């Protein structure tokens, strides 16, 4: 099997996860809700739903399903989200019951939060679907995009978004958590979703975009903007939807090149850690993933924002999606990793590559899948081959309006066709 066949095998596995692990009962209040993880068959996540909406577009393009099948699943999913999933100011509950669509933790007294980044992923997936399917889907999505109240999230003391809103409790007397998007992470898409709204001024859009701190560091290469844990997914998620390759921000900063440097640093650090058997074999990719004890969030250096501020507990576990979702940044290195993984049949299951593995004391394979890991995998692999989702989202009038307000510039004529105003 050549490398292109391996890529196609993984794309199909990812698609099947979203198609079959979403609620398929048209009469269910949870129709279309997508399983967060195969470790819990009852819990869906709103971000997994967002990735599913993009996966259906790719599925139609690759003839896995018909246009009508994709349209009906997408329309029904959006109707479920809008009508049945709890939301506040347009921000949806993070974890939801796959069958009932109610807040997953509500019955146990630990209700899930109204999540900003997970709602953002939902909206980006919905935007890709609306640009592809049009019709009633576009009508619903246009309304969702404009009604999401991003201004509600802005912190009163600084120009940053708050991270989440919770149910009122002793722990959260105002509902707001202390967490905020005050440094770089996976949130780039949020500034475009805010700027794209017709009511948002260019001044407000740029104030928020420049409001978070850019921490700069390096590992055996050029400096780049990094995150506290520096898990690799934070350098991937927004790029799955928006084509940053030809864009620079108003100060000339290149987010695409930043992700290239971050990915190479992550890989190099793994190569240098010869005391781990997994890395000795040539495997790399530190990110958020399942491990033997639960859920692990790790990345490559630099870490933290001050000396000895943070040190990850790396155990040799790597995630296939970390390298596969980097294929637009490091195509040669990613394909080499994919070829390596293609030789080990234990890494593969019904939905393609499992979430994670290591070869420390003895070989271990997670035998599990996570929606927000399979999502960027299918989108990025397809972006590398066809750029389906990036083209749909970046060329949309909504994102073009955001690009203009934020002051991003491109030398590529395909991204400078819309000059503002009504089409």
Domain extents for the chain?
3-415
* φ/ψ (deg, to 5) at 105: -90, 5
Query: What whole-number distance in Å separates Cα of residue 155 and Cα of residue 161?
Result: 6
Return the DSSP state at 295: E
Comparison of pLDDT for 3 and 413, the residue scoring more = 3
* Whole-Å CA distances, 206 to 7, 54, 193, 255, 408: 38, 28, 12, 16, 10
* β-pair type (91-92, 87-88): antiparallel
Tens digit of each residue's pLDDT (9 = 90 or more) over 331-361: 999 999 999 999 999 999 999 999 999 999 9
* Whole-Å CA distances, 13 to 21, 350, 353, 392, 417: 12, 7, 8, 23, 36
Residue 418, pLDDT score: 39
Query: pLDDT averaged over the chain?
Result: 95
Tens digit of each residue's pLDDT (9 = 90 or more) over 43-91: 999 999 999 999 999 999 999 999 999 999 999 999 999 999 999 999 9
Q: What percent of the chain has pLDDT over 90?
A: 92
Burial class (CB in 10 A: 0-12, 13-18, 19+), 418: middle
| Mean pLDDT for the stretch of residues 188-202 | 98
Three-state DSSP state, 162: strand
Three-state DSSP state, 184: coil
User: What is the pTM assigned to this prediction?
Assistant: 0.96
Q: Is the dihedral of CA 271, 273, 277, 280 positive or negative?
A: positive
Query: What whole-number distance in Å separates Cα of residue 419 and Cα of residue 373?
Result: 36
Q: Are 206 and 250 in contact (CB under 8 A)?
A: yes
* Whole-Å CA distances, 374 to 19, 116, 172, 379: 12, 20, 33, 9
- My answer on whether omega of the bond before 302 falls inside 30° of 0, hence cis, is yes
Query: What whole-number distance in Å separates Cα of residue 206 and Cα of residue 210?
Result: 6
Architecture of the domain whose range is 3-415: Alpha/alpha barrel (1.50)
Q: Classify each residue of 323-354 as buried b or exposed e, where b means 16 or more C-beta atoms within 10 Å of its C-beta.
A: bbbbbbbbeebbbebbeebbeeeebbbebbbb
| Mean pLDDT for the stretch of residues 93-114 | 94
Query: What whole-number distance in Å separates Cα of residue 198 and Cα of residue 342?
Result: 47
């Amino acid at each position: 099997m050549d490398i292109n066949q391996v890529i196609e095998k993984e794309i199909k596995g990812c698609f099947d996860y979203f198609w079959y692990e979403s609620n398929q009962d048209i009469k269910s209040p949870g129709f279309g809700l997508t399983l967060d993880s195969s470790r819990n068959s009852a819990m869906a996540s709103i971000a997994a739903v967002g990735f599913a909406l993009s996966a259906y577009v790719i599925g139609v393009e690759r003839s896995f399903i018909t246009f009508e099948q994709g349209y009906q699943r997408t329309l029904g999913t959006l109707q479920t989200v809008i009508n049945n999933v709890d939301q506040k100011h347009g921000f949806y509950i993070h974890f939801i019951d796959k069958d009932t669509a109610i807040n997953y933790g509500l019955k146990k007294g630990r209700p899930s939060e109204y999540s900003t980044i997970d709602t953002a992923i939902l909206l980006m997936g919905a935007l890709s679907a609306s640009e592809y399917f049009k019709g009633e889907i576009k009508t619903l999505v246009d309304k969702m995009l404009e009604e999401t109240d991003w201004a509600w999230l802005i912190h009163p003391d600084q120009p940053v978004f708050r991270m989440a809103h919770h149910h009122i409790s002793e722990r959260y007397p105002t509902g707001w958590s202390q967490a905020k998007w005050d440094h770089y992470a996976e949130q780039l898409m949020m500034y475009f979703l805010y700027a794209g709204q017709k009511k948002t001024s260019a001044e407000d859009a740029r104030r928020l975009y420049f409001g978070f701190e850019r921490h700069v560091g390096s590992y055996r290469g050029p400096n780049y903007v990094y995150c506290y844990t520096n898990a690799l997914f934070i350098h991937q998620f927004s790029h799955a939807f928006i084509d940053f390759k030809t864009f620079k921000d108003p100060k000339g900063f290149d987010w695409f090149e930043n992700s290239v440097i971050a990915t190479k640093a992550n890989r190099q650090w793994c190569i240098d850690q010869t005391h781990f058997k997994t890395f000795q074999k040539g495997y790399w990719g530190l990110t958020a993933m399942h491990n033997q004890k639960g859920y692990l969030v790790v990345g490559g250096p630099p870490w933290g924002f001050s000396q000895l501020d943070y040190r990850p507990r790396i155990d040799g576990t790597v995630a296939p999606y970390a390298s596969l979702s980097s294929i637009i940044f490091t195509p040669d290195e990613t394909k080499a990793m994919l070829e390596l993984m293609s030789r080990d049949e234990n890494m593969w299951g019904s939905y393609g590559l499992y979430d994670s593995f290591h070869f420390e004391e003895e070989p271990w394979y997670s035998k599990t899948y996570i929606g927000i890991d399979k999502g960027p995998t299918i989108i990025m692999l397809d972006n590398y081959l066809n750029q389906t989702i990036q083209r749909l989202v970046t060329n949309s009038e909504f994102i073009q309006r955001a690009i203009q307000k934020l002051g991003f510039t491109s030398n590529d004529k395909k991204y400078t066709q819309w000059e503002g105003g009504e089409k």
